[in-house]
Structure 1
Amino acid sequence: MKSFYKVCIGLLFLAASCTDVIDVDVPEGPERLVVEASLDWEKGTSGNNQTVVLSTSTPFFAEQKFAPVLGASVKVINLDKSTEFVFESQNNGQYTTSSFVPIVGDTYRLEVIYSGETYTATETLSPLVDTIEVTQSKDAGEDEDALEVNVTFKDPEGLGNYYFLRFKSQDDLLPELYYIKDEFIDGNTATFYYEKLEDEDSVEEFEPGDLVEIALMGISEQYHDYLRLLVDQYENAGTPFSPTPVPLIGNCVNMDNPNNIAYGYFRVTEVIQTSYTFQ
């Protein structure tokens, strides 16, 4: 028995002495411009105040996760009206304007000049439904005993609309995203629900008093397709059958050096925002 203890102690010392620090080299891509240009016109407001955020990509293990871009030139042009909106730098990566004029159906072009190169992107401001109805229930989701929040709206007939629906629970770090094409709801009333089911990752069902922030946007087909890739890649990450992740390239094009791509997206949307508290 004593010899057995000696062997165990010897193995413990051997294991401790063989502990090495392993440095893993993570491949780093070239630094890229990152464009966060979401010009969202909330119904009931003028939509004049808008912000574009510019930064550069950072290495995965970098301490500084946000690297703001300073000194860039940013403007948005209404191509239908030939009007120009200049975004002023706030010296923190944000570029703002208080004079933007959103017009449904008009096409807008973003122009960013950074480090001697010009990036452009084009989007059309898509229409949105007039109102939405928000309710709660227990019969629309997977668990008949779990609360869910429902968003209902009437899709206009024959317009080929696309929607972006976002739910953000007060307890969640990330929102729940839905990309919607009216192919199967054209001209009809449609309802979409958000339900949380308890699991091993400490997710808890909705309870009375919980708050959910809701946003419904009218978007372009191009942005719908971008969201589909984004959401599908996020939701399938880490599963045995998940596809190989690929960089998502938005609609911002480098006019001077096409190989020096930019990340991010320029969108112009009409949006309804509201919140719901479970009863």
Structure 2
Amino acid sequence: MKLYYKILISTFLAVNTSCTDVVEVDVPEGPIRLTIEASLDWEKGTAGNEQTILLSTSTPFFDSQAKPSVTGASVQVTNNSSGAVFNFEDQGNGQYTTSSFVPVFGNSYSLEVVYQNERYTATETLLPVTDISSITQSREDGDDDEALEVNVSFQDPADIENYYFLRFQSRNDLLPELFYIKDEFIDGNEATFLYEKTEDEEDNIEEFQPGDVVDIILLSASEDYYNYLQLLIEQFEGAGDPFSATPVALVGNCINIDNPDNVPYGYFRVTEKVESTYTFE
């Protein structure tokens, strides 16, 4: 596929006349790829049996339409430790669901997606996550000592290499704030992470106010997922920065067995999570 943009170039002549030339610019586009959003998140305190996997295809960079959903695929997850197979049923809208998934800590799980006669696979291990020990608010710990911030604390288990994914979502904002965490400097200790919004009229950012609500999710993460998140967040935060590294298409842990050149986008994760909500006072 090719995308053409018309650029109008106006040249003013000395006699105050002008002419307009139409220049067609050929903008290269990458191939359309299968996108796999397979996040099997087991919320602490629940059975974790209901899970959903989303399949779609990538879209051109300048395309404002929603990602096309993928139907007609075969999707299943296998517990490599027990041999149990969980089939995900096609809902006809890009969603593939199951109500029979059984999460087991320490077990390895493999995803298999068959789409257009090509087989995609990925493997992850389910790791437990520690509880959130407290959620508080303050004003003095962030960059602005007058702005409200929410503080989330948790106890990191000692002598175990842990990785975390911490997600804050203000209900006033479209996009969340994401943190990837390695316990290298907090091993065995209670750690606190804060989320503050500094007012910025140019970017239409407003500080937290009393009554604002923030949804908080803490997930366990494998080392591979931690590395993937690090690259993902760095590219997202560097968007528009002329001094940042050139963005590249991120490849997750999913591979195409039948056609290695047709690499899919997305990631297969199996995690435990804790959720909470905080309302500023």
| TM-score under structure 2 length normalisation | 0.91
C-alpha change, 1:87 and 1:201, in structure 2 (3 Å) is same
CA deviations on 1:86-136 (whole Å, 9 max, x unpaired) are 000001111000000111111100000011010000001111103331110
3-state SS of 1:135 partner:
strand
The letter for the 2-side match of 1:251 is N
Q: Output the amino acid matched with 1:95.
A: Y
- Which one of the candidate residues 207, 220, 241 is aligned to 1:205? 207
Aligned equivalent of 1:274, options 268, 276, 280: 276
**Bigger helix share:** 1
Letter in structure 1 aligned against 2:106: G
Residue 36 of structure 2 aligns with which residue?
Answer: 35
Shift of 1:57: 1.1
- Aligned equivalent of 1:7: none
CA apart distance, 1:222: 0.5
Structure 2: how far apart are the matches of 1:44 and 1:108?
Answer: 21
Greater C-alpha radius of gyration: 1
Q: Is the 8 A contact 2:132 2:152 kept in 1?
A: no
Equivalent residue number for residue 258 of structure 2: 256
After superposition, the CA RMSD in angstroms is 1.6
> Aligned residue pairs: how many?
268
User: What's 1:231 paired with?
Assistant: 233
Cα pair distance change 1:212/1:256, threshold 3 Å: same
Structure-2 separation of matches of 1:125 and 1:20: 59
**Per residue, is there more strand in 1 or in 2?**
2
Structure 1: gaps of 5 or more residues: 1-9
Distance 1:149 1:244 in 2: 33
Match in the other structure for 2:66: 65
List alignment gaps of at least 5 residues for structure 2. 1-14
CA deviation digits over 1:58-79, x for unaligned, max 9? 2223353221111100000000
Give percent identity, aligned residues only.
63
Supply the distance in 2 between the matched residues of 1:154 and 1:130 (Cα, whole angstroms).
7
Number of the residue aligned with 1:3? none
TM-score normalised by length of structure 1: 0.92
**SS of residue paired to 1:234:** helix
Cα distance change of structure 1 residues 221 and 76 upon mapping to structure 2, 3 Å threshold: same
Deviation sequence 1:4-46 (CA, Å, 0-9, x none): xxxxxx84xx45xx34555433211111110000000111111
Supply the distance in 1 between the matched residues of 2:77 and 2:140 (Cα, whole angstroms): 45
Indicate yes or no: 2:58 matched with 1:47: no
